[in-house]
A and B are shown apart, each in its own frame.
Chain A
Amino acid sequence: MAAEPTIPVTVLTGYLGAGKTTLLNRILSENHGRRYAVIVNEFGEIGIDNDLIVDADEEVFEMNNGCICCTVRGDLIRIIEGLMKRKGTFDAIVIETTGLADPAPVAQTFFVDDDVRARASLDAIVTVVDARHILQRLEDSHEAEEQIAFADVILLNKIDLVDAQELERVRQRIRAINAQARLHETQNCVVPLEEVLERGAFDLDRILEIEPNFLSEDDHEHDDAITSVSLRSEAAIRPELFMPWLRMLTTNQGQDILRLKGVLAFPDEEQRYVVQGVHMLLDGDHQRAWKPEEPRTSRMVFIGRNLDPATLQQGFEACAVRAA
């Protein structure tokens, strides 16, 4: 039996008051021709009645799977399985998390649970950031930084409440934490929804656009605990070296690695290999054929704490096919 296509899942994070509810109400009320099942943490905040809105409990528990930092959201496993019984009544799922939620258990749920993986796939983590308050939040909240670090898409919202200089400081700060996410600057979360929802492979391609080390050292006026490291190689990557290297890296440094993503060119392989990970968990697959005009550049992005760009680059390069 052919595997059925999986339902795309968008995770919405952001600190209290950043504008998540505004975005959710748009998703629920706009005439976009798609039907979304929405999992919310506080039903009362949503002004719309819809039988595809589900209350979540944010029940996080530890897995006994030998993976020391592995926590998952039990309620999501349950809710997604339950929603699948009404399949055909919705096209995609949006999960709202509380402002204080750590995104790791949500993301890990989609890596760990086989039944969830068979039916749903994490499409993107979207983080709504309040331009006016984010710098303060980053000083006093660990979660605000993690939510930016985990994001595939960032909505830098309420930009009308800050001046140009302040906005530039916020941009730089976000980029220092997460150089890879797609950044949209908005007022009232006004952004075309197709830029946020069901992004699919689009955002994986994003890592190919990033210039490694485009941030020079003096951009770091704040010593952010979380940083991004981008790696690239023009030479093909040997899977027999790359896989053990990545496994070793995530085993040893998994607690510090919040997210990793890569698009890889293996020798004599027509397909692009894509890999992504959260902490110690990895998931990789052949995605699609390289296009004829597409340069076969391999790229990796790591976002996390205590990342040493030189060591990572060295390790990555050691996996490349050496020039004859």
Chain B
Amino acid sequence: MATTAADSPLIQRHGRHVELEAAPTALLWLGTNAAVTLGDGRLCWIPDGEDAQPVPVHGGAILSACRHPDGTAIVTGGDDGQICRVSPDGAVTQLGHFPRKWVEHLAASPASGLLVAGVGKEAIAWTRGADAPSHRYAVASTIGGLALDAKGKRLAVAHYNGATLLYGTNPDSGRVALAWTGSHLACTLHPEGRFLLTALQETGLHGWRLADLRDMRMSGYTAKTRSFSWDRKGKWLATSGDAAAILWPFDGKDGPMGKAPLLRAERKGALVTQVAFHPKDEVLAVGYGDGIVALARLADENTLLLDTAGAPVATLAWNDAGTRLGWGCEDGRVGILNMDARA
């Protein structure tokens, strides 16, 4: 690919930078209003064209965040053990408090109304509309990642030596134990719930085809995979952890078994840290360890430079309409790209 740091990045023409004074830990969208959670416990709202509006939420760092299932607020988890709902008007409501624990994982589904938090060795669930925990599931070791399918019913919990599958809306859910030696740090479920993929400490992915629990190995990464993104059809899974965005095919019943991945937006000597599929088009946004952000088209090798080098890209997300892309770098730089403005 021809993209270099010397090209004029698109953000200079069709976007803006916002400098925040702490490390962004997540960026999420409500319409065209970006919410950036920070390492100093604040959440910063960045409405379209307006100044950043910080809201103090947690005592320490915000470690996890997701959209509230009702779509009108952000849910945050902190190293102060609190789980909070933060509205764009600045209102903060506590949904749970687990003293001396870190809330490192959150997942939510608008379809089922379920909200799930990973707190130590427990997955804690709030059913639709609940403002206090409804039920909880214990696993044998600390939770490394949570994932819900598109219906928001199937819940996957990654942990040491494997993962556990549950029905998150059912307090008496049966469970499927999926064993694989090692530390599983993150997970994602295929939107239709056909496959579960986890990221391993030793790098690479482990996968299970859920119809027959067949194991899959996807290796060759130089660093741990921390970012997953499914395209809108569930055909491709984009992953971070190498010099290129690595895209695994999931269109057939065998998923990526026996197939080669697609590599996009490769930059020699760089490391992809974040990936985010456009919600409508076959376009992938890619963030790197050196602060570069680029857009890659699946159909060809073309890429477009969005932002110049800086600190590692820690978070990257499109809004639902696909009209805004936002990213946050570890030094507090936030980039907002406005696709409406692109003539």
Residues of A within 8 A of B (CB): 1, 43, 51, 54-55, 57, 59, 61-65, 72, 74-75, 77-79, 82, 85-87, 113-115
- List A contacts of B106 (CB < 8 A): none
- Of the A-B pairs whose beta carbons lie under 8 Å apart in the complex, a sample of 6, sorted by A's number, is A61-B160, A74-B160, A77-B183, A79-B102, A85-B39, A85-B61
Q: Known contacts A51-B80, A85-B61; is A57 also within 8 Å of B142 by CB? A: yes
Q: Are B183 and A43 in contact, with the CB atoms below 8 A?
A: no
Pick the most buried of A1, A43, A57, A85: most chain B CB atoms within 10 A of its CB.
Answer: A85
- List A contacts of B142 (CB < 8 A): 57, 59, 74-75, 78
- Interchain CA distance A78-B226 in the complex, whole Å: 13
- List B contacts of A43 (CB < 8 A): 100
Q: Are A51 and B59 in contact, with the CB atoms below 8 A?
A: yes
Q: Verify if B48 is at the interface (C-beta below 8 Å from A).
A: no
Q: Are B25 and A85 in contact, with the CB atoms below 8 A?
A: yes
- Interchain CA distance A72-B25 in the complex, whole Å: 25
Q: How far is the CB of B68 from chain A (nearest CB, A)?
A: 22
Give the nearest-CB partner of A112 in chain B: B201
Q: Are B201 and A85 in contact, with the CB atoms below 8 A?
A: no
- Interchain CA distance A63-B204 in the complex, whole Å: 13
- List B contacts of A77 (CB < 8 A): 183, 201
- Interchain CA distance A55-B309 in the complex, whole Å: 36
Which range contains the number of B residues in contact with the other chain? 20 to 34
Q: Verify if B141 is at the interface (C-beta below 8 Å from A).
A: yes
Q: Are B40 and A74 in contact, with the CB atoms below 8 A?
A: no
Q: Are A1 and B311 in contact, with the CB atoms below 8 A?
A: yes
- Interchain CA distance A151-B23 in the complex, whole Å: 35
Residues of B within 8 A of A (CB): 23, 25, 39-40, 59-61, 63, 79-80, 100-102, 104, 120, 141-142, 160-161, 181-183, 200-202, 223-224, 290-291, 309-311
Pick the most buried of A43, A82, A86, A113: most chain B CB atoms within 10 A of its CB.
Answer: A86
Q: How far is the CB of A267 from chain B (nearest CB, A)?
A: 31
Pick the most buried of A43, A63, A65, A74: most chain B CB atoms within 10 A of its CB.
Answer: A74
Q: How far is the CB of B293 from chain A (nearest CB, A)?
A: 15
- Interchain CA distance A77-B201 in the complex, whole Å: 10
- Interchain CA distance A55-B121 in the complex, whole Å: 13
Q: How far is the CB of A2 from chain B (nearest CB, A)?
A: 11
Q: Are B309 and A64 in contact, with the CB atoms below 8 A?
A: no
- Interchain CA distance A74-B311 in the complex, whole Å: 26
Q: Are B182 and A61 in contact, with the CB atoms below 8 A?
A: yes
- Interchain CA distance A61-B201 in the complex, whole Å: 10
Q: Known contacts A57-B142, A64-B202, A115-B224; is A87 also within 8 Å of B182 by CB? A: no
- List B contacts of A82 (CB < 8 A): 61, 63, 79, 102, 104
Q: Known contacts A51-B60, A51-B80, A86-B39; is A63 also within 8 Å of B141 by CB? A: no
Pick the most buried of A51, A64, A72, A77: most chain B CB atoms within 10 A of its CB.
Answer: A64
- List A contacts of B223 (CB < 8 A): 114-115
- List A contacts of B61 (CB < 8 A): 82, 85-86
Q: Are A1 and B290 in contact, with the CB atoms below 8 A?
A: yes
Q: Are B161 and A61 in contact, with the CB atoms below 8 A?
A: yes
Q: Are A55 and B160 in contact, with the CB atoms below 8 A?
A: no
Q: Closest 6 A-B residue pairs measured CB to CB? A: A85-B39, A85-B61, A86-B61, A74-B183, A64-B202, A86-B39
- List B contacts of A55 (CB < 8 A): 100-101
- Interchain CA distance A77-B202 in the complex, whole Å: 13
Give the nearest-CB partner of B25 in chain A: A85
Q: How far is the CB of A111 from chain B (nearest CB, A)?
A: 14
Pick the most buried of A65, A77, A82: most chain B CB atoms within 10 A of its CB.
Answer: A82
- List B contacts of A78 (CB < 8 A): 104, 142
Partner pick for B201 among A57, A79, A113, CB 8 A cutoff: A113
- List B contacts of A86 (CB < 8 A): 39-40, 60-61, 79
Q: Known contacts A51-B59, A57-B142, A82-B61; is A63 also within 8 Å of B202 by CB? A: yes
Give the nearest-CB partner of B312 in chain A: A1
- Interchain CA distance A33-B110 in the complex, whole Å: 49
Give the nearest-CB partner of B223 in chain A: A114
Q: How far is the CB of B78 from chain A (nearest CB, A)?
A: 10
- List B contacts of A75 (CB < 8 A): 142
Partner pick for A64 among B25, B63, B181, CB 8 A cutoff: B181
Q: Are A59 and B141 in contact, with the CB atoms below 8 A?
A: yes
- Interchain CA distance A114-B223 in the complex, whole Å: 8
- List A contacts of B160 (CB < 8 A): 59, 61, 74
Q: How far is the CB of A114 from chain B (nearest CB, A)?
A: 6
- List B contacts of A72 (CB < 8 A): 201
- Interchain CA distance A82-B23 in the complex, whole Å: 12
- Interchain CA distance A65-B224 in the complex, whole Å: 14
- List A contacts of B141 (CB < 8 A): 57, 59, 74
- Interchain CA distance A51-B200 in the complex, whole Å: 30
- List A contacts of B104 (CB < 8 A): 78, 82
Give the nearest-CB partner of A62 in chain B: B181
- Interchain CA distance A62-B141 in the complex, whole Å: 14
Q: How far is the CB of B221 from chain A (nearest CB, A)?
A: 11
Give the nearest-CB partner of B59 in chain A: A51
Q: Are A63 and B201 in contact, with the CB atoms below 8 A?
A: yes
Q: Are A85 and B63 in contact, with the CB atoms below 8 A?
A: yes
Q: Are A85 and B23 in contact, with the CB atoms below 8 A?
A: yes
Give the nearest-CB partner of B38 in chain A: A85
